[in-house]
Amino acid sequence: MRVSRSPGRSPRAGVIPVAPSSWPGRPEMYLPHKPRPNVTPWRKSPGGCVSTGTPRPEPSPRGRGLHGPSHQVRQHPARLPPRFTHEDTSSAKAFRGNPVKVHLPSTHLRGPMLFLYFPQWQGSGSSDELYRGAVLVRQRWPELPWVEVPVTRETALPIRHGILGYDALLAQQQAAAALLAHHAPARLVTLGGDCGVELAPVSWLNHRYAGDLAVLWLDAHGDLNTPESSPSGHFHGMPLRCLLGEGEPALTRLVTSRLDPRQVLLAGARELDPPESDFIAARQLSRLTASRLNDEPASLARWVGEAGFSQVYLHLDLDVLEPTGFPYVKCPTPGGVTSEALVAALSHLREGGRLVGLSVLEFVPGEGEAGLDLIDRLLRAALGEVPESLPE
């Protein structure tokens, strides 16, 4: 696939010239078609997931994953904006990144879009199934120009500073922060991996928009533990606490732009540890229940409007979904959001024109292509409908 562009201009990896229709005030993206994924029930104990006893299949043989040059995306020439060029250097200077050129109509928010592939798995325990899940999702959309964060496949995960796999996690978080500083995106799509991948993307966009960013945390869990409060030591139960400025010092220092509690909405959270509940009460974090979201899918977008934020980042841990309909997650938790309600909620967010970033996280492969069709629908709902194929 190729990127349609003005003569003589070479696109940077991960940056697309875009057209302004399906993501209001944001670029149009072409997501293709065709997916893949035996899961056993897990539940999330304080700070992590615990097997309910059914044996899982052995992990697939370790490999290098998807490496090599990023693919480029071709867009329909008739739908490209004519000849607007903007060099966005404001955020790049602050993070020592390089200026990035992007072709956008002058009336739209300027800056590049980045597709970040971050298949980190160590934050969820010793199984690499989240890595394999991310590989399958990426394979479904190979023509998107994914920029990859290098992730080790080493399964020896020593505990340091109360966190399982601490050394690998810290190195990977540093690499993700460096990639974002280099590309200086104004919009982000993050494919994980475990929930711990959120430190760099959320921190970057919060800096980029000077705190004018609502962070919608769609997750069955709070992710608000610290190494001291987490009996499992799994980092995927800690990232939101880090983003709010508390946690293991070296990881928290990577959050160069910390969130204010008023920026955060916990949506669909229904399995909280006592320290997390205490923290939520003390910081007065906003909450939206799964049942409310099922009854009123527009309530997610309505909260953003009432809170007064101009930009939105959507954290989507797939375990926010009701597991009877979507069991392909690390920690299935009953009482979740239905797939139809979530698709409708994401459509309302897209129509509001404020979405500048989203993540899709914690997908565990099932049989064949199980689960991938719904991920496809969710991405299309958030980013807009696109043609299944493009003319040559």
Q: What is the CATH number of the domain that holds 133?
A: 3.40.800.10
The pLDDT of residue 385 is: 56
Strands 159-160 and 163-164: antiparallel
Residue 57 predicted with pLDDT over 80: no
Antiparallel, parallel or unpaired: β 100-102 and 113-117 = unpaired
Q: Does residue 132 form part of some domain?
A: yes
| Rg over CA atoms, the chain | 19
pLDDT, average across residues 50-58: 40
Nearest to 179 by CA among 117, 109, 104: 117
Is 13 part of a structural domain of the chain? Answer: no
| Cα 111 from Cα 98, distance rounded (Å) | 12
How many domains does one find in the chain? 1
Could you report the per-residue pLDDT of 273-325, keeping only the tens digit for each?
999 999 999 999 999 999 999 999 999 999 999 999 999 999 999 999 999 99
Q: Does a structural domain hold residue 265?
A: yes
pLDDT score of 38 more than 80: no
Mean pLDDT of 204-213: 97
Task: Examine residue 24 and state whether it is found in any structural domain, yes or no.
Answer: no
Residue 391 has pLDDT above 70, yes or no: no
**Residue range 83-97: average pLDDT?**
31
Asked if pLDDT for residue 77 goes beyond 60, the answer is no
> Do the domain assignments include residue 274?
yes
Give per-residue pLDDT as tens, 194-207: 999 999 999 999 99
**Amino acid identity, position 347:** S
Q: Is residue 364 part of a domain?
A: yes
| 255, part of any domain | yes
Give the domain extent around 375.
42-50+66-383
Residue 49's pLDDT band, with cuts at 50, 70 and 90, is low
Answer for the pair 18, 90: CB distance below 8 angstroms, yes or no: no
| pLDDT at residue 93 is higher than 70 | no
User: Is position 12 within any domain?
Assistant: no
pLDDT at 37 over 70: no
Q: How far is CA 80 from the centre of its chain?
A: 27
139-181, pLDDT tens digit by residue?
A: 998 888 999 999 999 888 999 999 999 999 999 999 999 999 9
SS3 312: strand
